[in-house]
């Protein structure tokens, strides 16, 4: 056998050994990757499939406002079903369900129902962050008229960015400070009608007093003139 053929045979053997070793790492029922159960926001029970389940909280961590649950519900059965309740397992709180305007909470046969978002049915948690935390995979249970309970874990995210339009419709505004007067009170009080009357009376008295003084001065001059006239007569 030539040297080139020997080198090719050795290379092929090395590749085959590597592939066999890698396959052995993932083989068997005890593989570590098979023991990892990921958090899943979708599940199917009977004719019902719950997909894209999310709990959306207020964007402000200090807010006590409500949270909302968003999901798409599919019914692959031949008869309609209704959504009876949605519950947070840890706190036991049930969401307030409300159908879309002119709609219902019924999932038609072969159809779907969207929970959350503008114009759709809604599921609101009035206690807000009670028992839930952003970043968690929250255990929630949907209950249907025929299938019964369908449980899964839904991711908890704040109503920001992509999820802003899917969050709770009641988002309280950030509390502000109370308005303060724009200017300070003046040190001089405004004039009152009584003050004006007093000022007018004072001015009038001053005028009369001045007139009397002028009259007195004129009276004193007259007797002096009379005295001069009398003296001249003598």
Residue at 171 is within a domain: no
Distance between CA 152 and CA 150 in Å, rounded? Answer: 7
Nearest to 62 by CA among 125, 126, 128: 128
Does residue 54 surpass a pLDDT of 70?
A: yes
Residue pair 116/56 in contact (Cβ under 8 Å)? The answer is yes
Residue 5's φ and ψ, nearest 5 degrees, are -70, -40
| Of the ranges 39-43, 49-53, 217-221, the best mean pLDDT one | 49-53
Residue at 193 is within a domain: no
Distance between CA 120 and CA 112 in Å, rounded? Answer: 12
Residue at 53 is within a domain: yes
Distance between CA 169 and CA 24 in Å, rounded? Answer: 53
| Mean of per-residue pLDDT scores for the chain | 71
pLDDT tens-digit profile of 59-112? 888 777 899 999 999 999 999 999 999 999 988 999 999 999 999 999 999 999
* Residues spanned by the domain of 85: 43-166
Q: String of b and e for 5-14 (b: at least 16 CB within 10 Å)?
A: eeeeeeeeee
Distance between CA 154 and CA 89 in Å, rounded? Answer: 11
Residue at 115 is within a domain: yes
Residue pair 53/41 in contact (Cβ under 8 Å)? The answer is yes
Q: What is the pLDDT of residue 41?
A: 76
Distance between CA 71 and CA 43 in Å, rounded? Answer: 11
Distance between CA 94 and CA 84 in Å, rounded? Answer: 10
The token pair at 204 is: 């009038």
pLDDT tens-digit profile of 182-216? 444 444 444 444 444 444 444 444 444 444 444 44
Beta bridge partners of 155: 54, 137
- Domains identified in the chain, total number: 1
Q: What is the pLDDT of residue 134?
A: 87
Does residue 34 surpass a pLDDT of 50?
A: no
Residue at 63 is within a domain: yes
Residue pair 206/214 in contact (Cβ under 8 Å)? The answer is no
Residue with the larger pLDDT of the pair 136 and 213: 136
Calculate what percentage of the chain has a pLDDT beyond 70. 52
Residue at 176 is within a domain: no
What's the mean pLDDT in 212-226?
42
Q: For the domain that residue 118 is a member of, what is the CATH number? A: 2.60.40.1890
Nearest to 69 by CA among 107, 48, 96, 47: 96
Does residue 124 surpass a pLDDT of 90?
A: yes
Residue at 67 is within a domain: yes
Residue at 93 is within a domain: yes
What's the mean pLDDT in 114-118?
92
């Amino acid at each position: 056998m030539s040297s080139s053929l020997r080198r090719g045979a050795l290379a092929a053997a090395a590749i085959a050994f590597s592939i066999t070793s890698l396959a052995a790492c993932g083989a068997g029922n005890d593989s570590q990757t098979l023991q990892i159960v990921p958090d899943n926001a979708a599940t199917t029970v009977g004719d019902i499939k719950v997909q894209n389940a999310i709990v959306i909280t207020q964007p402000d961590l200090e807010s006590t406002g409500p949270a909302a649950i968003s999901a798409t519900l599919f019914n692959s059965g031949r008869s309609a079903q209704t959504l009876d309740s949605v519950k947070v397992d840890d706190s036991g709180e049930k969401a307030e369900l409300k159908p879309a305007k002119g709609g219902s909470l019924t999932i038609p046969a072969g159809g779907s129902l969207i929970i959350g978002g503008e114009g759709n049915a809604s599921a609101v948690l009035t206690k807000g962050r009670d028992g839930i935390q952003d970043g968690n995979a929250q255990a929630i249970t949907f209950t249907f008229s025929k299938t019964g309970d369908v449980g899964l874990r839904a991711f908890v995210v704040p109503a920001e960015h992509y999820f802003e339009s899917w969050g709770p419709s009641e988002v309280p505004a950030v509390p502000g400070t109370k308005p303060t007067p724009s200017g300070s009170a003046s040190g001089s009080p405004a004039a009152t009608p009584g003050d004006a009357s007093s000022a007018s009376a004072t001015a009038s008295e001053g005028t009369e007093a001045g007139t009397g003084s002028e009259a007195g001065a004129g009276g004193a001059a007259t007797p002096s003139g009379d005295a001069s006239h009398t003296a001249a007569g003598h």
